[in-house]
Amino acid sequence: MGDLTEYIAGLPKAELHVHHVGSASPKIVAELASRYEGTTTVPADETKLAEYFTFTDFRHFIELYLNVVDLIRDPQDIYTLTYEVAGELHRQAVRYAELTCTPYSSMKRGIQGAAYCEAIEQARSDARRDWGIELRWCFDIPGESGIYAAEQTLQVALDQRPDGLISFGLGGPEIGVPRPQFKPFFDVARAEGLRSVPHAGETTGAQTVWDAIEALGAERIGHGIRSIEDPKLVDYLADNQIPLEVCPTSNIRTRAVATLAEHPLAALVAAGVPISINSDDPPMFGTTLCREYAVAAELLELNTVGVTELARAGVRHSFLAEEGRQALLAEIDAYEINWYAEGRDPRH
């Protein structure tokens, strides 16, 4: 596995399912928490954070996630967080990422939509300057906040239209938050050229994935792992090549899946469902994108050739324009060739 870890570390990647606040480093979260000592349950001590991010179930995860969101109250924090997240993506050899941002949650806490968008755009151009990484935004509706949040999210997306904005999503709990109610907002977003990437089939069954496809026009599904329960849906995803953005460790840490041995990733791949591998909320789940590639390699019994295909899939399922896709696929090819050129055996 040692060779694979080293290989994965430098393998150029695209990440398609990673959350903005969920990626805030323990250093940033602890610093933010120290400002609101006594009014937040979030520890101001980095070492205590790992323990804090131990979730009894998905609902508990969302509760603690929102406790962290609560600490972010000015545009400078948005800039710093976004720039630092880009630095960590760079350390994971990510060359392109579609970062899921939830502007409504920040606007609700007093940050103006325009200031929010300026901050993330400034971070995006600084990250490109410093690390050559290409960021795009998915603006998602926090589903637990319902129709008003959907209205606000669509409005800020279309009023501000930051250069990096490429897709429109739906996050938060699925239980008690039916997808079809958001159809009018996805219809407008798609008509305006935003790509549809709602979460579904993470903590509820296959029906939410059907709803995401039929009501929200999903082109990719966030998680979608519970699709495995419905053979017709599995066939539909495979026949129509609708990719699932799979985040293995997230599913374990939120208790959406009991153990890795029971994770449906291998069954989905065997059925021809296209997948990408992602980290979701890496510091909260004690993981990194490279580690998620290693987990997928274990579950799918992949060698260096196989994990290279995972990286290519991330590019192919991205919304990056053709020129950028070809350039990133060429980077991956060059990396693979150089790796073997140093005399390593691809059969590892």
Ligand X SMILES: O=c1[nH]cnc2c1ncn2[C@@H]1O[C@H](CO)[C@@H](O)[C@H]1O
Q: Which residues are catalytic?
A: 202
Strands 165-171 and 221-223: unpaired
Between 121 and 281, CB nearer to ligand X: 281
H or E, element range at 137:
strand 134-142
162 contacts ligand X (rule: CB under 6 A): no
Piece of 59-67, 107-115, 118-126, 290-298 that binds ligand X (CB under 6 A): 59-67
Amino acid in the structure at residue 107: M
Q: How far is the CB of 323 from ligand X (least distance, A)?
A: 29
Report which DSSP code applies to 273: -
Q: What is the maximum alpha-carbon separation in the chain?
A: 58
Between 22 and 243, CB nearer to ligand X: 22
State which of residues 211, 245, 280, 336 lies at the interface with ligand X (CB under 6 A): 280
Query: Per CB under 6 A, which of residues 64..93 are in contact with ligand X?
Result: 65-66
State which of residues 23, 82, 102, 196 lies at the interface with ligand X (CB under 6 A): 102
Report yes or no: 9 and 70 within 8 Å, Cβ to Cβ. Answer: no
Look-up of token digits 């398609």: 16
199 contacts ligand X (rule: CB under 6 A): yes
248 contacts ligand X (rule: CB under 6 A): no
Between 11 and 21, CB nearer to ligand X: 21
Structure tokens at 42: 């979030």
State which of residues 23, 92, 100, 167 lies at the interface with ligand X (CB under 6 A): 100
Between 221 and 328, CB nearer to ligand X: 221
State which of residues 113, 164, 172, 201 lies at the interface with ligand X (CB under 6 A): 172
Between 197 and 315, CB nearer to ligand X: 197
Between 162 and 171, CB nearer to ligand X: 171
Q: How far is the CB of 341 from ligand X (least distance, A)?
A: 39
Q: Compute how many other C-beta atoms are within 10 angstroms of the C-beta atom of residue 132.
A: 9
22 contacts ligand X (rule: CB under 6 A): yes
- Backbone φ and ψ for 25, nearest 5 degrees, come out as -70, 155
Q: How far is the CB of 273 from ligand X (least distance, A)?
A: 19
142 contacts ligand X (rule: CB under 6 A): yes
Piece of 138-146, 177-185, 260-268, 294-302 that binds ligand X (CB under 6 A): 138-146
Identify any residues that bridge with 14 across adjacent strands, giving them in sequence order.
Answer: 96
- Backbone φ and ψ for 8, nearest 5 degrees, come out as -60, -40
State which of residues 8, 11, 16, 19 lies at the interface with ligand X (CB under 6 A): 19
**183-192, Cβ contacts within 8 angstroms, sequence gap of 24 or more:** 183/215, 183/216, 185/141, 185/150, 185/151, 185/153, 185/154, 186/215, 186/216, 186/217, 187/217, 188/154, 188/158, 189/154, 189/157, 189/158, 190/217, 192/157, 192/158
Report which DSSP code applies to 11: S
The closest of 294, 224, 298 to 13, measured between CA atoms, is 294
281 contacts ligand X (rule: CB under 6 A): yes
Radius of gyration of the CA atoms of the chain, in A: 19
Report yes or no: 171 and 143 within 8 Å, Cβ to Cβ. Answer: yes
Show the CA angle centred on residue 74, arms to residues 88 and 46, nearest 5°. 45
318 contacts ligand X (rule: CB under 6 A): no
Residues in touch with ligand X (CB under 6 A) = 19, 22, 62, 65-66, 100, 102, 105, 140, 142, 144, 171-172, 199, 202, 250, 280-281
